[in-house]
């Protein structure tokens, strides 16, 4: 059974710092890995999806890397801003039969960027 772990659970940084969020998964036979952002009282927003054949994906100040063999992914945020404050979750799909997949989520890293 796939398990997804995110460390640290919470992170506080001053504005402008570069930072790295970590995600690890126990079953390396994944199809892709997604990073989501969750703002308080709101739903999840997909940030990046890395396919299993890729090693990294970039979107603006965000860069996500994937190392399947070691079961790890990192989300790098450059020049952090107060608006980046949110909870970041990673998720991997697992096959659940009948051609369908379900996402297994980590518990998230709560990021606070201090102005």
Residues that bind other proteins (CB under 8 A): 31-32, 34, 36, 41-46, 49, 51-52, 87, 89, 93, 96-105, 107-108
Q: Which of 73, 65, 70 is nearest to 106 (CA)?
A: 73
40 phi and psi, to 5 degrees? -55, 130
> Shortest distance, CB of residue 107 to other proteins, whole angstroms?
5
User: In this complex, which beta carbon is closest to other proteins, that of residue 9 or of residue 79?
Assistant: 9
Beta-bridged to residue 28, according to DSSP, are: none
For the bound state, the minimum distance from the C-beta of residue 50 to other proteins, rounded and expressed in Å, comes to 10
Two tokens, residue 101? 């997949």
We find the least distance from the C-beta atom of residue 101 to other proteins, in angstroms, to be: 3
Q: How far is the CB of 29 from other proteins (least distance, A)?
A: 13
Nearer to other proteins, 69 or 96 (CB): 96
DSSP bridge pairs for 18: none
Token code pair at residue 51: 């396919």
Question: Is the CB of 14 or the CB of 102 nearer to other proteins?
Answer: 102
Pairing status of strand 10-14 against strand 109-114: parallel
For residues 19 and 49, which CB has a smaller minimum distance to other proteins in the complex?
Answer: 49
Q: Which residues pair with 14 in a beta bridge?
A: 114
């Amino acid at each position: 059974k796939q398990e997804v772990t995110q460390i640290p659970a919470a992170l506080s940084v001053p504005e402008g710092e570069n930072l790295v969020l970590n995600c690890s998964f126990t079953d390396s036979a994944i199809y892709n890995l997604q990073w989501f952002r969750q703002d308080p009282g709101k739903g999840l927003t997909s940030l990046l999806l890395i396919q299993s054949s890729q090693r990294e994906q970039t979107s603006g100040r965000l860069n996500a890397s994937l190392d399947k063999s070691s079961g790890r992914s990192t989300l790098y945020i450059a020049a952090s801003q107060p608006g980046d404050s949110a909870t970041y979750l990673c998720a991997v799909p697992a096959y659940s039969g009948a051609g369908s997949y379900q996402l297994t989520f980590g518990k998230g890293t709560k990021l606070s960027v201090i102005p």
